[in-house]
Amino acid sequence: MTTTSSYAIEARGLVKEFRGARGTVRAVDGLDLVVRPGEVVAFLGPNGAGKTTTVDLVLGLAAPTAGTVRVLGKEPARAIADGQVAAVMQTGGLLRDITVGESVELTAALFGRTSPAGPFLERAGIADLADRTVGRCSGGQQQRLRFAMALVSEPDLLLLDEPTAGMDVRGRRDFWTAIRHDAEAGRTVVFATHYLQEAESYADRVVLISQGRLVADGTVAEVRALAGSGSLEDVFLDLTAEPAADPSARTTAEGGTR
Ligand SMILES: Nc1ncnc2c1ncn2[C@@H]1O[C@H](COP(=O)(O)OP(=O)(O)OP(=O)(O)O)[C@@H](O)[C@H]1O
């Protein structure tokens, strides 16, 4: 690690509001979250819980309304510019008219490197697609390409927003094998997912949010225990009972308080 911070992510009192004609939506509502280097953390929550917004704040793609977020001890934008953080998002980030191999080489060039694409495509399980135009790749193949591109800077922290959406069964298995391999080598991985089974199988720790707030945090076993002998799904349904997808639940009049 090239930082003196003991945290990969340190969010304190994080708030993000979106102001619109109908009032203010508080997407992230006072989140305190610390992720230590080497952890593999599943970030769970129902639709509209604030997962993507939190990931955007950690990536410096949005500025917090209140609170702070540090990544590897730095401002998010600094950590990204230094190549220490990479992300696999659900959409975007690809150029449709170049090949899969060129996409990886272009990413390397952005970091001032001339790395061959092969090893990264290999790790993402798409070495055979190197010469295919991105626009002709399936959704799952494009997702694997995003993963390959995220590996180029050999980041200390990898943020994954529903990384296996659209991947087939083998794709998922290969993807998680690659992620676990990297995690064992010390990489920190935070992934948002709706697949609770992926959290149970691959995460060291589960963070559950609902309506922008943290409602459970611990190992899979600890979080499961919150529902007695229940499953992670039982805990999820218990603790996220309110309809988070209803924005009125978190909407106040402009400038108002909850
Ligand atoms: N740019 C925006 N402007 C206004 N509201 C927004 C904006 N981005 C997100 N929101 C709202 O913030 C809340 C949290 O959204 P977010 O996308 O972070 O949830 P999520 O947990 O990632 O959901 P999903 O699982 O459906 O992807 C939602 O109510 C959403 O409608």
Give the closest residue (by CA) to ligand 1 atom 10.
27
27 CA distance to ligand 1 middle (Å): 6
Residue 54 alpha carbon, nearest atom of ligand 1: 18
Residues 6+ apart with CB under 8 A from 11: 31, 32, 33, 34, 54, 57, 58, 67, 68, 69, 70
* Residue-wise pLDDT tens digits, 152-161: 988 999 999 8
Pocket test for ligand 1, best of 51, 162, 242 (most atoms within 8 A of CB): 51
Nearest CA to ligand 1 atom 24: 47
Block residue for tokens 């001339």: 114
Mean pLDDT check: name the lowest of 65-79, 81-95, 239-253.
239-253
- pLDDT exceeds 70 at position 194: yes
Lowest average pLDDT, out of 29-43, 167-181, 237-251, goes to: 237-251
In this structure, which residue's CA is closest to atom 12 in ligand 1?
27
CA-closest candidate to residue 134, choices 99, 105, 106:
99
Does residue 210's CB lie within 6 angstroms of at least one atom of ligand 1?
no
Confidence of residue 178 (pLDDT cuts 50, 70, 90): confident
What the chain holds in terms of domains, given with CATH numbers, is 9-84+155-252 (3.40.50.300)
CA nearest ligand 1 atom 27, residue: 47
Percent of the chain with pLDDT over 70: 91
Mean per-residue pLDDT for 89-100?
A: 89
Per-residue pLDDT tens for 2-11? 444 689 999 9
> Average pLDDT in the 181-186 region?
86
Can you say how many angstroms the Cα of residue 146 is from the centroid of all Cα atoms in its chain? Answer: 13
Q: What per-residue confidence (pLDDT) applies to 251?
A: 47
* ipTM entry: 0.97
Distance CA 175, CA 166 (A): 12
